[in-house]
Structure 1
Amino acid sequence: MTNLRLRPLRAMKNARVFAAALTAALLPITLLSSLPAATASEEIAAAEVITRDGTSQLRAAASCWEIKQTTPDAPSGTFWLLTPRMAAPEQFYCDQETDGGGWVLIGRGREGWKEFHQGVGTTAQVRSTVTGTGAFAPRQLSSTVIDGLQNGQAPDLLPDGVRLRRATTADGSQWQEARFKFANLDRWAWTISAEHRVASYSFGGPTSSGGLTSNFGSNQALNRVVTSESSAQGWTQGWAYGSTITGSPDDSSYLWSANSGTGNARPFAQVYLRPKLTQADVTFAPVGDNGYPGYSQRPLPQSAAQSTVWGVSGLANGRGGELNTEVQDFAQIGNTVYVAGNFRYVQRNAQGAERVEQPYIAGFNVDNGEWVGTFRPVLNGQVKSLAVLPNGKLVAGGEFSTANGSPAVGAVALDPQTGATDPAWRLQLENRLTGGVVQVRALSVKNDWLYLGGAFTHLTGGTTTNAVYARAGARVRVTNGTPDASWNPAFNGTVAAIDAAANGERLYAAGYFSASNSVDTLRAAAVQTVAGAPLATPAWSWTPSSTNRNFQLGIQEVGNRIWLGGSEHNLFSFDPQTFSRLSGNITKNGGDFQRVSEGDGVVYGACHCANWNYSNAFTWSNVGTQWTAADRINLVGAWDAANGAYIPDFNPVMKGRAGYGVWGVFVDSRGKVWAGGDLETSVNANGVNQWSGGFAVFPPRDTTAPGTPSGLTATTDGVTDTLSWTAATGDASVYHLIRGDRVIATTTQTTIKVPALAGGRYSVRAADEAANYSASTSVVIPPKVVATTQLVQTGEDWKYRFATQAPDPAWTSVAFNDSTWATGKAPLGWGSSTIATQLVFEGTTRPLSSHHRKSFTVEDPNKVAEVRITTRADDGLVLYLNGTEVRRVNMPTGTITNNTYATAAPRTTFATANPVQITLPGSALAAGVNVLSAEVHSNYRSTPDHSFELSALAVLEP
């Protein structure tokens, strides 16, 4: 792994956070700016008693409401908030004046509001410019951030509902306060123009009930909310008034219309919620000794397409219609992704740069998107399905009758490098129904068999020269294409999709049929793979509504569910054992589901829908009242394969040539999702609407968390705790400092200072800009603050004696009278520039030792835990406390006299750099006067230097 790369901090989209219990589902997070410098008012002593007034990250409140209750005179403005469903504190704008205050701003703007789950813009943009003409361009918090602010509470349970503040005049001088409540909304969604049911509403007066969020109110003037788009207003969304309220296209007008005088004016509006959360309402998970676990995003493609490198164009067979779209299927062998359909050309851009005629099937490099020009098969009809054989050959199925100049009706095996026909694999299909045309619309490989679905009645191939009857469904040997004459499901209509079960015991099929071998099975079947092709038991006996009996176009077994999609606008999942329906999805406007695919635990449903997906809805066009969520969907959506839940994070923007939508979805070996149909444009990561000929590719989002920081240390001076750590490996952009049960600070550095907390339990984790974060470090606790008092400081005066005669034997005792000794400031000695007092001797012979005494007073030794002495041995040292020897260094054992030689001869610089550390128990002290005595001995009389210095520190009992 690489070293940490710290990047400029910016607000993140779709970030994930801790749930109240760490074992629960994790939610997106937003990474934050660094903690402001601690203030004196934040100093904490023995216990963490914090006023949650939102004035700093440390003081983050659970809601704007809690701030207002804590600080009644708090003004409107930006405050820090944190709930257990958020990873770290973040700043939001709070209205603390209207109707008792406590409102958090979640969006503002004029025309152009979006249904995007990820919102519009950043959290910082929402809070920084809340009103005025500079706020006209809509900015909306992401839905996951809003859910975090509610701590997972369903929006329909908010006691005050949604607050809508709208300008009522063009100059913005007058405003309206509107309120409405949802009848049923489990999580926040910006799809306000969908059919969310309104439980109640008011416009500053009496409360009324009923209506849909797309259009509700009591008149066609100011007392109405219209969120749906219209051609008259340029297909823009907003919180519009009724049809009698007109606006202006003027940039400065608070009432906007595409044309002057057009009704349903879009006013500048602010949207607020008021979660009434306090610390008593939320529960944070305390950090364990080993820290918090990490989190990585689930595999999912980004909503932004990668930049187009090559695309396809043209209708090679000259026919239009949704069954003749440019791209219909994908497959991968090695580093090549094969794209199949009804296109005529491959080219680099919409203008046809480097255009090459390569109809029906082409290969593209999986990594760089370049066209693989060596793969050049020649077919005379469109390719509707692809499959990869165990021997590495590529099988194409479709409406062609020749391949590379030779007969190949409906199916052919191709060399994946060149596109040449595989001579060892032969198959020809027939359709002997009156007017019947051969179609192979679906392929699936399992074990020794290649399964085919489509419109046909007979097959020959491999070692079989006599036609085998198998209507609309068949299987052939993967080795040579020989049909299995014993297996014929005999569907009475065209098969549009098939999928062989993971255990090989069934083939799932969907299409236009109503029976298999004369047994009723409407539009979907599970056929056993044993001889005779009987239906699985119990039979798939679902009863579709009258509106989705026409056809089913996509089917896929994924884990413990069978997914089925088709008309009208339905995508359902079923239990593979009982065939009971487990989940339902209806797209309200746009069209049918046309393909179902899977990768990395995600089910992808492709459609020609461009509106909303209603979860737990089962009928079209009336989706009923039982649905639980309405989310934006545009040509392809994502669902959790395990529980069937819609995943609103994947929300691409694509448009097609004729509105036929997406007919092929494929997850490649790099985790990229390829979506194909009649596509012409997609929006890339730069927000640019780019040409995407026939297909668009969506790269995977980052799912790799940074490494865990290491070496966390904590120190304290009693006022400030200082935390330091070693940078994490990986692509980290910010660190979360955890104390107790929550994040209290974020920083881009590897050290941080926070107000002290006695016994504070700290941990730190690294997060990246893609909303992944590491496990946190093990907990550290700053050592207790040690109270000390200086008994002897460096540079103090000492009594000293430097003579050849021995001192009085009692010279080390407390009672010894040293009044005749000289006094000098330490260090004492000679031979060094640091010496403060030069030791001078009389006579011709230099004394071999010097003697030093220092007295100090201790009132109560019982309050002293220990004495820490720092001195030096230059050359040898014997130290006494109150007449008792406590340490000798560089001196021999036995009796020490005035003329004992030291056993080593360190220079003063070395002795100073390597001090002698001595720790004595507090019990060694006496109440009242105490005396430290030291004798310093030279290793030889002519030594060039000799010195003495000492300090003593008393560590008090806690």
Structure 2
Amino acid sequence: MHKNSMTRPSPSGGGVRVLSRRSTGIGLILAVTLGISTIASPSPVEAASPPSKAAALAAVPADDYDPLEFGAWTLGNGGDPSGSGAQNWVELSGGAGYANADDTPSGAGSQLQQTVTGVTPGSTLSVTVYWNHGIPNPGDAMQLTLSYAGVNYAAWQTPYPAGSSKVVVANGAAIAPTTGSAERAATAYQVTLPDNVPAAGVVRFAMTAITNSVTPGDDFRISGLSMNSPPVPVPEEGLAESRAKKVVRSGSMKNPWGVTGRSPLFQDNLDVEVQAFGEDEATDTMYAGGNFTTVQRDSAGTDAETQEFLAAFDAVSGEWIPTFRPTLDGQVKSVEVLPGGRLAVGGEFSTADGAPHEGFVVLDKTTGRVHEDFTTLLVNRVSVETVSVWDTVIDDGWLYLAGKFTHASKPGTREVYSRNLIRLRLDDLTPDRDFTTELNGGAVDLDIKGNRLYAAGTFSTNKGAPAFRALAIDLTDRTQIPWKIHTSYGTAPLNTRQYGVVATDSSVWLTGAEHLIAAYDPAALTLKQTWIQAWGGDGQTIASNGDTVFAGCHCWGNTYEGSRNLGQTSSNFEQISAIGAYDAAAATIQRKPEVWDPVLSARRGDGAWASLIDSRGTLWTGGDFTHAQPHGWTSRRWTGGFVRFEQAGDATAPPVPTGLTAVTDGTWDALSWNPAGEDDLTYQVFRIGGSEMVAQTTDTTVTVPASPEGTRYLVRAVDAAGNASATGSPAAAEPGTIPPDRIPEGGETQPVQVISPRASWTYSFDAGIPQGWPTVETLESTGTAPLGWGTKDVVTKFPAAADGTRPLTSYYAKAFDLPADAPHKELVLTVRLDDGAAVYLNGKEILRENLPTGDLTDRTYATTSVAGYAAPDSTKTVRIPVADLAEGTNTITAEVHSNWTKAPSSTFDLEAVLR
């Protein structure tokens, strides 16, 4: 459980006074589709929502996002839209602002980017560039670069020699279009990534004006910007679990109760209403602490009751729990649920239940009374200030406390000196004298990942060793790990305090003054990425669900990625409303509104001071919030100090199947395994060393044609949301007898799915009829089905032009192999119809539906319109005798036609099964 606290400078040697905080050019029309493969096929970067049930029919992607869609860009020849000035300007439509591009090679230009994960060696990065020119200006030039993970893999320049037409240079070849407004496409560029390519990174397409000006009305367009990974053989260790990305819905949940009021302790924004959360999973209870005085139902004060500093709520319904009634005399900064019905509470109080308990107390988690077994005492021997505890965290049998104190004692034990950071044995809260620190300033926030403890605060040394505002300790030997952090504003104490720290699998994140968020490599603790929030935006709280990092602040403006110093901006920014979302793996800011775009109101703008992801994936954010916009609403609803954002969809992998056995009679291999323990599961069978699924079934048995001796099988479970378990222990087929009811009737082979729904297809979307169509083997772009637009299950999404139109026709191609000596009788194809489709086998037409007779062109309209909601069930089946297939490789090609250029949906998917 993770919380945060905030600090106020203190002149005394004990640290700082805390008051609360956390729990823890260019007229373009652009489409970007990024695809990543796991086992069987490339998977595009798609909507940040759980995969559909169809994901059970193919290897489940490791990570999915929606393709980026950008509106038209316009290009002027001056520093403003009027066309005057010394700079080119690039403006993104839709209110996204503009970025200047200097007339030098260092000009900022503009860039489009997308984060991808699951990239493997041999992945390909490709793009096609179009140039739509107006009247040439001699000496004009633009530079275009394509990069992944910070490495440029492609670069173009567009030089325009004096007295000549414009020239596009791509892939080393110059294309000289005629003058006028004709569009010419540059050669598509494709590069294979090296063996040392990182598994996660940012694909970026950048444009920079490098000489003179560019003609008004000129525009660039790019298509097919894609990242495709090759099929990967199943490794010896099997397949890891694969789940949907955890996505938190940015519309708020309803709070039937909230908190309000500010105690007389209130001095500034460090003393806001809600500053800490703690969850009791066993009883579905959420404890909220802070500086409030009252619980009530709404802004009108309905059913208001006095309850100061700490209250309990049902974590599911949000109802207040009136039987929990603690009595404290100061604000609460941290809450942690302990074993044995106990609740550890830290803060800036002096008494609990009227008795002295400075800064730290253990309560009965049901009643809120001081727990009868609590006797541990914290003291501060270097300051007259009250002891304060700002954060607590549990790990491996210990309770760690951070704040402002010097010693801890328990009756019957010797006092332990550990300044501002200490740990207590979890069972009886005895101080540990083997783990000690000597921080010369307050410890504000803690997190533990693996065997490392991380702390953030106002300190600069630990036991005399440098530890400027951040500390890392190896818990195996309790040694300090060197960590030199970046600060955004010199070294002044008030401008360098760090208020929040959280560790993920790939980065360690810090946030604090001045307006800084930073991600560090966990191995070397070196700086990876930074963000600077607009004026008024110090970081105050930070938490993560593993996929996304949520960083809160009193910020209500832009956050600039790559900026490192206070006041610095960048061309890559996003507007933040009190709490921003960042991709944990790629360390990039998440875009809005598709992913994270909450609408919040605060009493005076102090923003987010506490954050926690509970066991259901719900994000709890606390501060001085008064209203929040629910999902699907256009207005805001009273929320009372804290806001809840629920996780959208299931992102948990099912249990691993166990007990896999295989029996062979030389012709068939019969496999069986134990149920994985959840309903509505599909099971996928693989071979170690193979790159395709062998079979899938909703049963726990399957019979397949015998594999070579020694082949080892694996099985995994896939749930209705598309989350896949890891594979269980492998099994090789042992000689034996297969029961007759396990062998298909008539000796026919088990159906073999040669093309599965949600498979990878090559495609062409906006370049007219492909050369050689329909007898082609592959097309220039690759994506995962369903492909198209307009339905919820679309994986590879095609963009619209600025006027909302799309090409009428899209083209698809995919090859499959006919197994040698296969005893199947027919190939059964099931194709989605949305709107019209023609399908070809090795260039021969085998299906035409919802299309006119005669020759088909890329301007042929479908004869029928299919509604988007009906598209997944609008299918046509065709049966092809196996004798009509070629031995070895066969190719399926298909073309899909819309009923009109602004059709609300057009999608393609196809399944092919040998029976």
Structure 1 position 703, deviation (Å): 4.4
Alignment of 1:307-322 (within 5 A): 307-322=254-269
Please give the alpha-carbon distance, in whole angstroms, between the structure 2 residues aligned to 1:776 and 1:496: 58
Q: Which has the higher strand share?
A: 2
- Aligned counterparts of 1:397 and 1:622: Cα–Cα separation in 2: 37
2:310 alignment partner, one of 361, 372, 380: 361
Q: Is the 8 A contact 2:832 2:874 kept in 1?
A: no
Give the one of 640, 646, 649 matched to 1:699: 646
The alignment status of 1:659 with 2:638, answered yes or no, reads no
Write the distance in 2 (CA, Å) between the matches of 1:448 and 1:544. Answer: 37
Indicate the SS of the match to 2:246. coil
Q: Is the 8 A contact 1:399 1:440 kept in 2?
A: yes
Letter of the structure 2 residue corresponding to residue 413 of structure 1:
V
Report the Cα offset of residue 751 of structure 1.
Answer: 8.3
Structure showing greater relative contact order (alpha-carbon pairs closer than 8 Å, 6 or more residues apart) = 2
Aligned to 1:441: 390
Q: Say if 1:542 and 1:580, in contact at 8 Å, map to a contact too.
A: no
Does the 8 Å CA contact 1:441/1:453 hold for their aligned counterparts? yes
How far apart, CA to CA, are the structure 1 residues paired with 2:327 and 2:97? Answer: 44
- Per the TM alignment, residue 629 of structure 1 is displaced from its structure 2 partner at its CA by 2.3
**Aligned equivalent of 1:490, options 425, 438, 451:** 438
Moved more, 740-749 or 402-411: 740-749
1:563–1:571 contact (8 Å) kept in structure 2: yes
Deviation at 1:578, TM superposition (A): 2.5
Deviations 1:398-446 (A, max 9, x none): 0112212322211111222222222213222222334423211111212
Note the C-alpha offset of 1:551: 0.6
- Unpaired runs of 5+ residues, structure 2, are 1-30, 50-63, 75-90, 99-111, 116-123, 135-139, 149-157, 160-165, 167-215, 233-239, 653-678, 684-697, 699-717, 723-755, 764-785, 794-829, 848-866, 885-915
The alignment status of 1:668 with 2:614, answered yes or no, reads yes
1:272: Cα distance to partner? 11
C-alpha contact 1:325 1:660 (8 A) present in aligned 2? yes
* Structure 1 residues 548-567: aligned runs within 5 Å: 549-567=495-513
The answer to whether the aligner puts 1:629 opposite 2:575 as a matched pair is: no
- For 1:581, the equivalent position in structure 2 comes to 527
Deviation at 1:616, TM superposition (A): 2.4
Alignment of 1:221-370 (within 5 A): 274-277=220-223, 297-333=244-280, 334=282, 335-370=284-319
Would the alpha carbon gap of residues 510 and 365 (structure 1) be closer, same or farther in structure 2, given more than 3 Å must change? same
User: What residue is the counterpart of 2:880 in the other structure?
Assistant: 783
Aligned partners of 2:600, 2:142: CA distance in 1, in Å? 33
8 Å CA contact retained: 1:314, 1:343: yes
Change (3 A) 1:355 1:736: farther
SS where residue 275 of structure 1 aligns? strand
Query: Map of 1:753-902 to 2, 5 A cutoff?
Result: 754-758=837-841, 782-783=879-880
Kindly state the Cα deviation for residue 387 of structure 1 after the two structures are TM-superposed.
Answer: 1.6
Aligned residue for 2:354? Answer: 405
Preserved CA contact (<8 Å) 1:310 1:346: yes
2:455 equivalent to 1:509: yes
- Taking the aligned partners of 2:68 and 2:454, their CA distance within structure 1 comes to 49
| Residues 752 and 538 of structure 1: CA distance in aligned 2, closer, same or farther (over 3 Å) | closer
Q: Which residues of 2 match residues 68-467 of structure 1 at below 5 A? A: 113=95, 274-277=220-223, 297-333=244-280, 334=282, 335-461=284-410, 463-464=412-413, 467=415
- 2: CA distance, partners of 1:707 / 1:492: 57
Assess, with a 3 A threshold, how the Cα gap between structure 1 residues 390 and 87 changes in structure 2: closer, same or farther: closer
Q: Which whole-Å CA distance do the structure 1 matches of 2:147 and 2:610 have between them? A: 32
Q: Deviations over 1:580-624 (max 9, x none)?
A: 11222221333111122222432221211221222222211224x
CA distance 1:275–1:783, shift in 2 (3 Å): same
Q: Report the CA distance between 1:523 and its aligned residue.
A: 0.8
User: Counterparts of 1:567-606 in structure 2 under 5 Å?
Assistant: 567-606=513-552
Contact kept? 2:405, 2:420, Cα under 8 Å:
yes
Distance (Å, rounded) in 2 between the aligned partners of 1:521 and 1:441: 19
Task: Give the Cα–Cα distance (whole angstroms) in 2 for the partners of residues 522 and 770 of structure 1.
Answer: 57
Give yes or no for contact 1:302–1:650 (8 Å, CA) kept in 2.
Answer: yes
2: distance between equivalents of 1:89 and 1:526?
Answer: 38
Cα distance in 1 for residues equivalent to 2:36 and 2:411: 62
| 1:469 maps to which of 412, 417, 440 | 417
Match of 1:474, SS state, is strand
Shift of residue 632, structure 1, vs aligned partner: 2.1
Letter of the 1:487 partner, please give it.
F
- % identical equivalent positions: 28
Verify the 8 A CA contact 1:572 1:585 in the aligned structure 2. yes
In structure 1, the partner of 2:45 is 27
Distance in 2 separating the partners of 1:92 and 1:447:
51
Q: Distance in 2 between matches of 1:513 and 1:693?
A: 34
* More divergent stretch after superposition (342-351 vs 681-690): 681-690
Is the 2:126–2:227 contact (alpha carbons within 8 Å) kept by the matching residues of 1?
Answer: no
Distance 1:685 1:484, change over 3 A: same
Preserved contact between residue 391 and residue 446 of structure 2 (Cα < 8 Å): yes
Following the alignment from structure 2 to structure 1, what is the Cα–Cα distance between the partners of residues 342 and 467?
34
- Deviation of the 1:695 alpha carbon: 0.6
RMSD of aligned residue pairs (Cα, Å)? 5.5
The TM-score normalised by the length of structure 1 is: 0.48
Contact between 1:495 and 1:512, CA under 8 Å: does it hold in 2? yes
Structure 1 residues 889-937: Cα deviation after superposition (integer angstroms, max 9, x where no partner): xxxxxxxxxxxxxxxxxxxxxxxxxxxxxxxxxxxxxxxxxxxxxxxxx
State the shift of 1:686 in Å: 3.0
- Aligned-partner residue type, residue 640 of structure 1: D
From the superposition, tell whether residues 144 and 405 of structure 1 become closer, same or farther in structure 2 (CA, over 3 Å): same
Q: Find the aligned partners of 1:154 and 1:545 in 2 and give their Cα distance.
A: 40
What displacement does 1:757 show?
3.0
Shift of residue 373 of structure 1? 1.6
1:87 to partner: Cα distance: 8.7
8 A contact 2:485–2:527 mirrored in 1: no
* CA 457–704 in structure 1, closer or farther in 2 if over 3 Å, else same: closer
CA contact (8 A) 1:18 1:87 kept: no
Do the aligned partners of 2:621 and 2:644 also contact (CA within 8 Å) in 1?
Answer: yes
- Structure 1 residue 93: Cα displacement: 10
Q: Give the C-alpha shift of residue 478 in structure 1.
A: 1.6
Pairing partner for 1:500 from 448, 453, 475: 448
1:860 is aligned to none
Q: Distance in 1 between matches of 2:584 and 2:367?
A: 36
Q: CA deviation at 1:541?
A: 6.5
Deviation at residue 473 of structure 1 after TM alignment: 1.6
- In structure 2, what residue type is equivalent to 1:582? K
Tell me if the contact between 2:36 and 2:44 (Cα under 8 Å) persists in the aligned partners.
no
Structure 1 residues 180 and 672 mapped into 2: Cα distance closer, same or farther (>3 Å)? farther
1:546 to 490, 504, 511: 490
**Alignment match, 1:640:** 583
Greater Rg by CA? 1
The yes-or-no answer on 1:478 pairing with 2:426 is: yes
Aligned length: 544
Name the SS of the counterpart of 2:276 in structure 1: strand
Displacement after TM superposition at 1:396 (Å): 0.6
Q: 1:304: how far off? A: 0.8
Compared CA separation, residues 297 and 18, structure 1 to 2 (3 A)? farther
Q: Distance in 2 between matches of 1:770 and 1:428?
A: 65
Is the contact between residue 597 and residue 603 of structure 1 (CA under 8 Å) also seen in structure 2?
Answer: yes
Please say if residues 708 and 774 of structure 1, whose CA atoms lie closer than 8 Å, have aligned partners that are also in contact. Answer: no
